[in-house]
Every structure is written in structure tokens, then in C-alpha cells.
Amino acid sequence: MQANEFVPRPKVEGCRQEWGMKMTDRFRRIYAKIDLDAIRKNVENMKAKLVPGTGMMAVIKADGYGHGAAPIAGELEPLPEIWGFGVATAEEAFALREAGIKKPILVLGYTFPHSYERMIREEVRFTVFRNDTLLQLSQIGGELAGKGVFQKAMVHIKVDTGMSRIGVGADGGGLDFVRKALETDGISVEGIFTHMARADEEDKSSAKKQIALFDDFLGRIEKETGHKIPVRHCANSAGIFELPEAGFDLVRAGIALYGLWPSQEMSRETMHLTPALSFYSTIVYVKEIEAGTPVSYGGTFVAPKRMRVATVPVGYGDGYPRSLSGKGFVLVCGKKAPILGRVCMDQFMIDVTEILEAREGEQVTLIGRDGGEQITMELLGDMSGRFNYEFACDLGKRVPRIYIKEGKVCSISDGCQYF
């Protein structure tokens, strides 16, 4: 039986391939579009919230929350308000240096000693909170000096004010650590920071307590060491929106760069954000099934009537969550098409019974707008029971990224390579 025989194929105006670029077949299966203009606009909107003179660190760990760290850093580096970049690992920092990024890069977590020499040479900033790190950095500094390289390890001291993750206490022990860092040869204390655990909640009392603790500790450092550490920072995205007193010298903007909200509890009135990422595929097969026909693994969905079913060649191998099985929907020709049965590793099925214009080759929007409908990452997070941050980070290596600047394609990454 030829599937296409009974698929109605009315010609409908308005069904379209998106945005002018002639897409090669290479990107028909799947691609993510990342709008660098949206990211710049989000930076501008956040900047408007800051006390003038406050810098911004763009947090682009986990490959820019799945959006691609290098092209985003390249886009943001020239902006005067961008102090530099925050990443999670030394490898992420090196990749940015390899991509030609010159501004400061801070590794926000602990780094292991095998990276120290290269970090010092490439001026990647360390987050420090352990005594042994100070000692190791000083030793490596000595060794480098022996080789004629007189570079200091630039460090930011991490203070724990309520997250209980990493950091020295905002107390006498913490002060001893700061003193030691200031006195150790080969180390230059550029910054000091803390991180808020609950800035994204409606009730800001816990966040405010952390800010006050940090502020007091900074005062104590100045008083007792006579030294003012130049780059003091505290705020994450949620802090930027709703806690102006957390600005200090620098804020650390992560999730909001990408136009995503830190949590459901945050008021949508405080900030205008434009989501940067949209995510597309193409229908590769359309067929009709009879009532009683099961769909996908486990037969969890059984057609209650004769239905038109389309197959989308995307699955959890691309980072599209399996937990959307039987719950999520995508957009086809500006309409919602529900997911039928389980999402497989590389494919899933959708109901297009009511979308007669949907046919093979038609665009499928997994995240983004199509006509009057929109699927946001927050909505996908809700439907799949996952956190929106997690969804962005998990977008797979198999997904090519297409970068848009001033409305035009400016670069493309196939997951491993930019070209």
C-alpha cells in the first residue's frame, strides 16, 4: 500500500519554509536557529537595570547553555558593558581562547591542577576557596618564573553566604583565607564573589540576607587588610532583575542572556526578554491509520478513529525529551500537532488529522513561533517535567546551529565545527 495514496494534499497558501535562506538538505532533518540579535537585546535590557558603571559577565558555561559559547562570546565581546565571560571548566575557557576571545574568562567552579599552567599562561581566572589551590598556584608561578614567564595567577575568591556549594565562610576563617591569598607570591586577587541560592523566588528575604552577609564581609576585609578587592560580584540573572542592591562591580548574567526566565516565580513585568533559540525539523512521512492502530514503542497510544499521522525525524538522541511522550506538541503550518505515543531516540509521531495542509517536507517547529502559536522552552520544560535550563543544555551534538545576525545567517555550526 502506498502511504501517499490516501493523503490529501490540498494546496494551501501560507505553508512555508522559514526565513529566506535556501536551506540545504543538510539542515532539513533538524536545526536550531540562534538569534544573536535577541541575545544582544537581552544584554541591553539587563544593562538598563544596572547602576551605571556596573559591568556584566556573560555566563556561557555548558556551551552557552546549549546555544554555542564561541559565537555568543564573539558577538558580545566588543560591547563595553561586557567585562568578560564565566564558564564552568578550564576546557570551556581554553575553547574560548582558541576561538580568539581576549577578554577575561573566569572558571566559576573548582579546577584541577593539570590545567593550572595553561590557565595562568592564557590569563584564565581561577575561582579559589581551598588553601591547597593557593599553594599549588604559587608553586606553578615559581616554576613559570624559572622559565622566564612572569605571569601571576589571577583569582577570584569564592565566599559561601548560603548556597553551601563552594566557597570560604564569610567569617574569621574566610578572612584568613583572603589574607593568605593577598599575601601569596604569584597570585593576584582580582575579584571576590558569592552566589545566591534563592534570588529567583518571590520571597527575597533569603537572598537579601546573603547580600548583606557578603557586603559586611567585604567591609570587614577592607577594614582589616586595608585592601579593596577590585571586582566584587554577586548577582545572577534573577538578581539583576529584582535585586539592584546586588550589583556591586559586576553582575553575572546567565539564563537571561538567552531570553529564558530563571523561574516561574519571577514577575514577567520586570524585564523584557526575547528567546534566542528556536528549533525546527521537517515532516518526513505522512500516513493514515485505522481506528485501533497502536503508535510507537509500547503501543501507549492507540488511534480512537481513522487518523492522519506524520513522522518527525527527531528524538531524545537530539535532546528532545522522551518525557514529552504522549504529552507534548509541535507546530505545523501554524497549528498545534500533538505528539502521539512515545518519543523514540531519533523519531516521533504527531497527529495531523486536523492539519490537512501538513505534508512531507513541511516545516515542524519544536521551539519557537509559527503563525500565532508559540512554543517556549519554559512550556517544554513544564510539559516534560524538566527545568528549562536543563533542556537548553541537553540539545544534542547532532543538532546543527544556525546563527542569525541582523536578520541574516552569519555562521553555522554542525555541532563540532563552525564554517
Ligand X SMILES: *Cc1c(COP(=O)(O)O)cnc(C)c1O
List interacting residues with ligand X (CB under 6 A): 59, 61, 108, 195, 236-237, 252-256, 262
DSSP-assigned beta bridge partners for residue 154: 188
Cβ of residue 71: shortest distance to ligand X, in angstroms? 18
Cβ of residue 266: shortest distance to ligand X, in angstroms? 11
Q: Which of 33, 47, 61, 152 is catalytic?
A: 61
Distance CA(37)–CA(33), nearest Å, equals 12
Give the residue carrying C-alpha cell 492507540. 302
Residue of minimal Cβ distance to ligand X = 254
Cβ of residue 330: shortest distance to ligand X, in angstroms? 26
DSSP-assigned beta bridge partners for residue 159: 168
Cβ of residue 385: shortest distance to ligand X, in angstroms? 20
Q: Which is nearer to ligand X, 42 or 413 (CB)?
A: 42
User: How far separated are the first and last CA of the chain, in Å rounded?
Assistant: 43
DSSP class of residue 247 equals -
DSSP annotation string for 342-405: ---SS-EEEE-TT-TT--TT-EEEEEEEETTEEE-HHHHHHHHT--HHHHHHH--TTS-EEEEE
Cβ of residue 388: shortest distance to ligand X, in angstroms? 10
Question: Who's near 287: CB < 8 A, 6+ residues apart?
Answer: 3, 7, 308, 309
Cβ of residue 22: shortest distance to ligand X, in angstroms? 36
Distance CA(94)–CA(398), nearest Å, equals 23
Q: Which is nearer to ligand X, 134 or 235 (CB)?
A: 235
Look at residues 30, 89, 110, 76 and name the one whose alpha carbon lies nearest to residue 367: 30
Check if 61 is active-site. yes
Cβ of residue 240: shortest distance to ligand X, in angstroms? 8
Q: Which is nearer to ligand X, 96 or 331 (CB)?
A: 96
Look at residues 34, 98, 97 and name the one whose alpha carbon lies nearest to residue 64: 34
The angle subtended at Cα 364 by Cα 359 and Cα 366, nearest 5°, is 155
Distance CA(161)–CA(208), nearest Å, equals 11
Using DSSP bridges, classify how beta strands 335-340 and 329-332 pair: parallel, antiparallel or unpaired. Answer: antiparallel
Q: Which is nearer to ligand X, 161 or 281 (CB)?
A: 161
Q: Which is nearer to ligand X, 59 or 337 (CB)?
A: 59
The angle subtended at Cα 115 by Cα 114 and Cα 118, nearest 5°, is 125
Burial track 187-210 (b if 16+ CB lie within 10 A, e otherwise): bebbbbbbbbbbbbbeebeebbeb
Q: Which of 102, 297, 397, 408 is catalytic?
A: 297
Q: Which is nearer to ligand X, 30 or 255 (CB)?
A: 255
153 neighbors 120 (Cβ within 8 angstroms): yes
Q: Which is nearer to ligand X, 237 or 282 (CB)?
A: 237
Cβ of residue 309: shortest distance to ligand X, in angstroms? 38
Check if 116 is active-site. no
Q: Which is nearer to ligand X, 204 or 252 (CB)?
A: 252
Give the residue carrying C-alpha cell 516565580. 265
The set of catalytic residues is 61, 297
